[in-house]
Amino acid sequence: MKKKLNIALMGSGFMGKAHSFAWTLVNKFFDVPYEPVLKVNFGTDEDITREVAEKWGWEEISMNWEEVINRDDIDIIDIVTPTYIHKDMAVAAAKAGKHIFCEKPCAVTYDQTKEMAEAADKAGVVNYLNHNYRRVPAVAFAKQMIEEGKLGTIYHWRGAYLQDWIMDPNFPLTWHFKKDLAGGGPLFDLSSHSVDLARYLVGEVKAVTAVNKTFIEERPLPGKRAATFSAGGEINSEKGKVEVEDASFMIAEFENGALGSFESTRFASGRKNYNTFEIYGSKGALTFNFERMNELQYLNLDDPADEQGFKTILVTNMTHPYAAWWAAGHVIGYENTFVHAVADFLKAVEKNETIEPNFHDGEKIIRTLEAAALSSEEKRRVEVSEIK
Ligand SMILES: NC(=O)c1ccc[n+]([C@@H]2O[C@H](COP(=O)([O-])OP(=O)(O)OC[C@H]3O[C@@H](n4cnc5c(N)ncnc54)[C@H](O)[C@@H]3O)[C@@H](O)[C@H]2O)c1
């Protein structure tokens, strides 16, 4: 019999479902040391929280997050609330000695990420920041190929994370449009993922030059069910001010000499979750598009010149990373990446080991994003180290 660990899920929206899926499925596919128990789901709307809890089998619901975090019977705090409250919940969880699984972006400011990392270090708790795209098998395989030297010296990173879900001017002013709740627009929401992937695959960003742009300045206030990204929907006749950018483009200089670019927008018509990267090196290149997440494109410059070209690798073999699902060629999806993250997290908890990305990675990512915001505001190149 595996030891049981009681989970508290803090939030019951889009990510509430994705994480419920992961905690439910992890033991069925991966050899993990614990059996997670879906103990309590905190939410701000009692009806929605009850619906989610009943659907996914959370034993209890609560409307009081502080009480939940301080319960003696809870082992893991899983934070899936709007970004502004990640810090308060994570610091409280660390003080209560709980291990922390937290959604991205880490927090709304660099200062908050430092507080989170410090609190987790002091308490000695395992902390994980869910930039889940690292745990797409094709991305983890790209990392292996780069470590094996398949790309040689890396010259370029080109990351574009494009969506179109708010192009309708009547899309309501949810928390995603408030600077103090979200930290920023697509820069924080989407480029945080791309910066995480770039740090993972290429290296640390040294300096940025960025331009941010807001296309729609006011939006209708949300009705009750419009409070969640996944539910979309009801709006109010009254309007409020959009406080974040709708698109962000930046050029990045890496510490190792590579040059890169990051684009993120919620106004790329037809692009739904177009999270892509291209990496160009002296020996070859790799490209990835999350909308075809089981595939990796690889160019090998050692191939005879006349036969050179990108080939598609279907990353579903039993020898590829996270090969616990199905037979080769039986592709997996977005939700599986959350299971991979939970599996790695539980293994880290057993050994009380560091897992990546964590709050220290969050610090570096948010620092880079704040440098981009400052660069756009002051129309100049900003060294990441300028952000204190
Ligand atoms: N890794 C990914 O792929 C991914 C995708 C989407 C969102 N996210 C991140 O997950 C987090 C949650 O996003 P979401 O899309 O699930 O949001 P959501 O709006 O769908 O749900 C947020 C939930 O948090 C709770 N909540 C709402 N307002 C609150 C408040 N003021 N105080 C405390 N709790 C509150 C509610 O239960 C709500 O259901 C965000 O940080 C977001 O950036 C990650």
List, run by run, the mean pLDDT of 10-residue segments along the chain (388 residues).
96 95 98 98 95 97 98 98 97 98 98 98 98 98 98 98 93 93 98 98 98 96 60 72 98 98 97 98 98 98 98 98 97 98 98 98 98 98 98
Buried/exposed 347-369: b ≥16 CB within 10 Å, e otherwise: bbbeeeeebebbbbbbbbbbbbb
| Protein residue closest via CA to atom 39 of ligand 1 | 13
| Protein residue closest via CA to atom 34 of ligand 1 | 81
- Taking the CA atoms of 296, 299, 300 and 306 in sequence, report the sign of the dihedral they define: positive
> Which of 15, 180, 195 maximizes ligand 1 atoms within 8 Å of its Cβ, making it the mutation to test the pocket?
15
Distance 248 CA to ligand 1 centre (A): 21
Determine the atom of ligand 1 nearest the C-alpha atom of 65: 33
Burial, 72: exposed, middle or buried (Cβ in 10 Å; 0-12, 13-18, 19+)?
exposed
Written as one letter, the residue type at 335 is: E
> Which of 9, 10, 44 maximizes ligand 1 atoms within 8 Å of its Cβ, making it the mutation to test the pocket?
44
| Protein residue closest via CA to atom 15 of ligand 1 | 14
Residues in contact with ligand 1 by the CB-under-6-Å rule are 11-16, 43-44, 80-83, 85, 103-105, 130, 132, 189, 228-230
* E strand residue ranges, the chain: 3-10, 34-42, 60-62, 76-79, 99-103, 127-130, 154-162, 205-213, 218-222, 235-241, 247-254, 259-265, 274-281, 284-289, 295-300, 311-314, 382-383
Distance 117 CA to ligand 1 centre (A): 21
Compute the distance between CA of residue 352 and CA of residue 118 in angstroms, rounded to an integer.
Answer: 17
| Protein residue closest via CA to atom 41 of ligand 1 | 83
Task: Answer for the pair 248, 258: CB distance below 8 angstroms, yes or no.
Answer: no
> Which of 87, 103, 273 maximizes ligand 1 atoms within 8 Å of its Cβ, making it the mutation to test the pocket?
103
Which 3 state secondary structure label does DSSP give 16?
A: helix
What confidence score (pLDDT) does residue 295 get?
98
Compute the distance between CA of residue 164 and CA of residue 171 in angstroms, rounded to an integer.
Answer: 11
Task: Answer for the pair 178, 242: CB distance below 8 angstroms, yes or no.
Answer: no
Task: Answer for the pair 196, 357: CB distance below 8 angstroms, yes or no.
Answer: yes
Distance 196 CA to ligand 1 centre (A): 19
Model-wide pTM > 0.95? yes
C-alpha 347: how far from its chain's center? 20
3-state helix, strand, coil in the chain (%, to 5): 40, 25, 35
Distance 228 CA to ligand 1 centre (A): 7
Q: What is the CA radius of gyration of the chain?
A: 21
* Residue 108 DSSP class: S
Determine the atom of ligand 1 nearest the C-alpha atom of 334: 3
C-alpha angle 208-211-216 in degrees, rounded to nearest 5 = 145
Distance 82 CA to ligand 1 centre (A): 4
What confidence score (pLDDT) does residue 233 get?
58
For 91, phi then psi, to 5°, come to: -65, -45
Beta bridge partners of 265: 162, 247
Buried/exposed 105-127: b ≥16 CB within 10 Å, e otherwise: bbbbbbebbbbbbebbeebebbb
Angle between helices 86-95 and 110-123 (to 10 degrees): 10
Distance 150 CA to ligand 1 centre (A): 38
Distance 199 CA to ligand 1 centre (A): 24
Distance 293 CA to ligand 1 centre (A): 24
Distance 56 CA to ligand 1 centre (A): 17
Beta bridge partners of 295: 314
**Count of helices and strands (H, E) across the chain:** 11, 17
Compute the distance between CA of residue 324 and CA of residue 29 in angstroms, rounded to an integer.
Answer: 6
For 223, phi then psi, to 5°, come to: -85, 180
Structural tokens at position 87: 């810090």
> Which of 40, 64, 66, 80 maximizes ligand 1 atoms within 8 Å of its Cβ, making it the mutation to test the pocket?
80
Beta bridge partners of 6: 37
> Which of 10, 14, 65 maximizes ligand 1 atoms within 8 Å of its Cβ, making it the mutation to test the pocket?
14
Distance 18 CA to ligand 1 centre (A): 11
Distance 341 CA to ligand 1 centre (A): 18
Distance 27 CA to ligand 1 centre (A): 25
